[in-house]
A = this chain, B = another copy of it.
Amino acid sequence: MSLLYTLDLIGTAAFAASGALAGIRRRMDLFGVLVLGLVTAIGGGTLRDLLLGDNPPFCFRNEGYLYLSLGVALLTFVLHRHLGGFRQPLLFFDAIGLGTFVVIGTEKALHFKLGFLGAVLMGVVTATAGGIMRDVLANQIPLILRKEIYASACLAGAALLALFIRFGVARSPALLVAAVTVSALRLFAIHFNWALPRARD
């Protein structure tokens, strides 16, 4: 099992847990919590595959993603009152997932012959669309559109990877540096409370 696939599974599990917690906070029932966990974990990659025309989407060809997401969401539902100590590690694994999803999405889009900007956007979509769907289903303005550096970190990493590949950098270091950039920016942003500017009134 490659390192990238391992990181992909870690990120999927972290995203599923964050989606399930959002459902629990909104007082959804078991089914709602499972749906929010699943959609958060696989929504971004599924939308990417729909846009690329790669049917059926990845998680229906490797159902491991479905079992993992639903399993983690179920565990989160059952154990959520005992998960207080997992908040910090969850942010860490979430950042790992973010970096991994960005490089997987950008690389796949380039493989499907998209241009520079299209591939960068596909990396961002892969990493962020699941969280946006989670917030839409929970009837909230997506967090990512309001006050986090979250998406900018994805944008930076995706652009870096697309540039690396255009200039012939070897695949492994290119993926690694781009993914670490995203994860590190995300963790720094949480730690130092960075934010993007808003339009002035």
Q: Contact at B145–A35, with CB atoms within 8 Å?
A: yes
Q: What distance in Å separates the Cβ of A163 from its nearest Cβ neighbour in chain B?
A: 16
Q: Quick check: is A28 within 8 A (CB to CB) of the other chain?
A: yes
Give the residues from 120 to 175 in chain A that come closer than 8 angstroms, CB to CB, to chain B.
121, 132, 136-142, 144-148, 151-152, 155
CA distance A199 to B31 in the complex (A): 11
From DSSP, what is the main secondary structure of chain A's interface residues?
helix
Q: Contact at A36–B145, with CB atoms within 8 Å?
A: yes
Residue of B nearest to A112 (CB): B56
Q: Quick check: is A198 within 8 A (CB to CB) of the other chain?
A: yes
Interface hub of A56, A66, A115, A152 (most chain B Cβ within 10 A): A56
Residue of B nearest to A116 (CB): B63
Q: Contact at B28–A152, with CB atoms within 8 Å?
A: no
Known contacts A56-B53, A142-B137; A30 and B198 CB within 8 A of each other: yes
Which 4 pairs across A and B sit closest by C-beta, in order of nearness? A53-B55, A32-B145, A29-B196, A60-B118
